Amino acid sequence: MILSPTVVEEAGAAILRGADAVIVPQATIGTGFWTRVRAFELSFYDSDDGVEAARFFRIVLFGALGGFDESLDAAEEWDLTIRARAIGQVGRMSVPIEHDEGRVRYVAHCRKKAPYALGIAKSMAKHGMQELRKVLAPPYLLRPWRLVVPHPLLGVGVVVLTAW
């Protein structure tokens, strides 16, 4: 993860304005076709507070939440954000954290994501389908033409990469 020089400053400003937790958007960087596909996929989640997770917390809120739920194998950041919303204000900032994924390789990416299915199931059992529907219903399914209008090849790549 690569932080811009203003990430901490902007997160602190959001907390000073009243946020108890702050969502920091994420952008994928790296090289190769599948990395461009991942970056295109993430672009659909820009400003989607249901999918992006809080990364900065007031220490009092983090303590009240009991930190991360270590029984979850995946989706722990969504779980923490869902719980934060229940008792505090979750703000957002505009400066992203860049996730340098290097060169994403299709098979390796699928292997990496496979264990998340179990974690998502545990999180669903904890929060119910209502909360996780936002996370599990990719926005490009609501407007599928956005997959092919600007970048048809990347759009097909998103479908292939997320349909495994």
| Ramachandran bin of 102, using left for φ above 0, alpha for ψ from -120 to 50, beta for the remaining angles | left
Residue-level pLDDT, tens digit, the chain, 164 residues: 999 899 999 999 999 999 999 999 989 999 999 999 999 988 888 777 767 889 999 999 999 999 999 888 778 888 899 999 999 999 999 888 999 999 999 999 888 887 777 777 787 788 877 666 655 667 777 778 888 888 899 999 998 988 76
Residue 123: per-residue pLDDT: 79
Tell me if 157 is assigned to some domain. no
> Is 148 inside any structural domain?
no
* 131 belongs to a structural domain: yes
The residue segments making up the domain with residue 53 are: 7-137
The 8-class DSSP code of residue 88 comes to S
pTM for this one?
A: 0.82
d(CA 155, CA 150): 8
Give the model's pLDDT for residue 145: 80
User: In total, how many domains does the chain have?
Assistant: 1
What are the Cα distances from residue 143, in Å, to 124, 130, 132, 139, 153? Answer: 25, 21, 19, 7, 17
Q: Which run of H or of E encompasses 101?
A: strand 97-103
* Helix axes 152-162 and 33-43, enclosed angle (nearest 10): 90
Report the pLDDT value the prediction gives residue 132, as an integer from 0 to 100: 62
92 inside domain: yes
Question: Could you tell me if residue 143 is inside a domain?
Answer: no
